[in-house]
Amino acid sequence: MSNETRRRIADRVLERMRARGFPLDRDPELMALIDRWCEGDMEMHECHRQYLALKGRRDAARRLPPLRDLTQTSGALSHDKQLDWSFPPFREAD
């Protein structure tokens, strides 16, 4: 497939995605991958694999940090308070 054909395909896909509210052409790293595919430097399966790796790195960076230990805060959740787990005595129905 020629580079011009690849570029036309990429432009059509990007335009469809933009029309659907996903402006992928604003992502410079993705566009670099697409440009490499259009130039024939990589096959689409490699472009897809590298995009998934990029997405994985971004998702990992967005994850929340681990929750802090809430038992060390104001004492409201402190383990040194004993809970009363006893139940009232069983009373038979009249």
Which of the two residues, 43 and 91, has the higher pLDDT score? 43
pLDDT tens digits for range 27-85 = 899 999 999 999 999 999 999 999 999 988 888 888 767 666 655 555 555 555 666 66
In whole angstroms, what separates CA 14 from the centre of its chain? 21
The verdict on pTM exceeding 0.75 is no
Q: Which residue has the tokens 């998934």?
A: 52
Per-residue model confidence (pLDDT) at position 58: 86
